[in-house]
Chains A and B, each alone.
Chain A
Amino acid sequence: MGRVQVGVAERVESEQTSSWLAPRQLLVAPTLAGVILFFLIPLGTIVAYSFAQIDLVTYDIRFGWTLANYRGLGDPLYFHTLLRSIGLSVGTTVGCLLLGFPLAYFISRQSTSWQRILLVLVLVPFWTSFIVRVYSIETLLQNTGPVDDLLRALRIVSGHFNFLYTRGSIAVGIIYSYLPTMVLPIYVGLERIDVDVLEAAADLGASSRRTFLRVTLPLALPGVVVGCLIVGIPAMGEYVIPEILGGGKTLMLGNVITAQFLDVGNFTFGSSIAVALIAAMSLVLFARRYIRPLEGA
Chain B
Amino acid sequence: MNFRRHLFSGIVGVLVLGFLWIPLLMTVVNALNRDELLSRWGGATFRWFGVALQNADARNGLRASLTIALATSVLSVVIAVTGALWWRKAGRRARRAFDLLVYLRIVLPEVVFAAALFIFLSRWGFPLGTLAVVIGHTVWASAYATLVIQSRVIGLDPSLEDAAADLGATPLRTFRRVTVPALVPAILAAGLLTFTFSFDDVVTSFYLAGSQVAPLPVVLLSMIRFRIGPQINAIGLLVMGITIVTMAIVLLLVSKTSQRSRARFSTPDAFQQGPLVEEEVR
A17–B138 CA distance with the chains assembled, in angstroms: 30
Contact, CB under 8 Å: A27 / B86: yes
Residues of B contacting A248 in the complex (Cβ-Cβ under 8 angstroms): 225
Contact, CB under 8 Å: A24 / B112: no
A131–B199 CA distance with the chains assembled, in angstroms: 11
Residues of A contacting B85 in the complex (Cβ-Cβ under 8 angstroms): 27
Contact, CB under 8 Å: B281 / A102: no
Contact, CB under 8 Å: A110 / B1: yes
B93 within 8 A of A: no
Of all chain A residues, the one with the shortest Cβ separation from B203 is A239
Other-chain residue from B13, B109, B116, B265 in contact with A106 (beta carbon distance below 8 A): B13
Of all chain A residues, the one with the shortest Cβ separation from B278 is A184
Other-chain residue from B20, B30, B117 in contact with A122 (beta carbon distance below 8 A): B20
Considering only residues 116-160 of chain B, those with a C-beta below 8 Å from chain A are: 116-120, 123, 135-136, 138-139, 142, 146, 158
Residues of B contacting A237 in the complex (Cβ-Cβ under 8 angstroms): 109-112
Most buried by A among B85, B158, B236, B267: B267
A128–B30 CA distance with the chains assembled, in angstroms: 16
Q: How large is the interface on B (under 10, 10 to 19, 20 to 34, 35 or more residues)?
A: 35 or more
Residues of A contacting B13 in the complex (Cβ-Cβ under 8 angstroms): 102-103, 105-107
Residues of A contacting B165 in the complex (Cβ-Cβ under 8 angstroms): 18, 20
A200–B251 CA distance with the chains assembled, in angstroms: 35
Contact, CB under 8 Å: B16 / A102: yes
B167 within 8 A of A: no
A106–B6 CA distance with the chains assembled, in angstroms: 7
27 example contacts (A-B, Cβ-Cβ < 8 A) are as follows A20-B165, A20-B171, A27-B86, A30-B78, A31-B82, A31-B86, A42-B113, A43-B113, A45-B119, A46-B112, A46-B116, A49-B119, A106-B10, A109-B6, A132-B239, A136-B26, A140-B23, A145-B38, A222-B267, A225-B268, A226-B271, A230-B279, A237-B109, A240-B203, A244-B225, A261-B115, A274-B116
Residues of A in contact with B (beta carbons under 8 Å apart): 14, 17-18, 20-22, 24-25, 27-31, 34-35, 38-39, 41-43, 45-46, 49, 99-100, 102-103, 105-107, 109-111, 114, 118, 120-133, 135-140, 144-146, 149, 176-177, 179-181, 184-185, 188-189, 192, 222-223, 225-226, 229-230, 233-234, 236-240, 243-244, 248, 253-254, 257-258, 261-262, 267, 270-271, 274, 277-278, 281, 285, 295
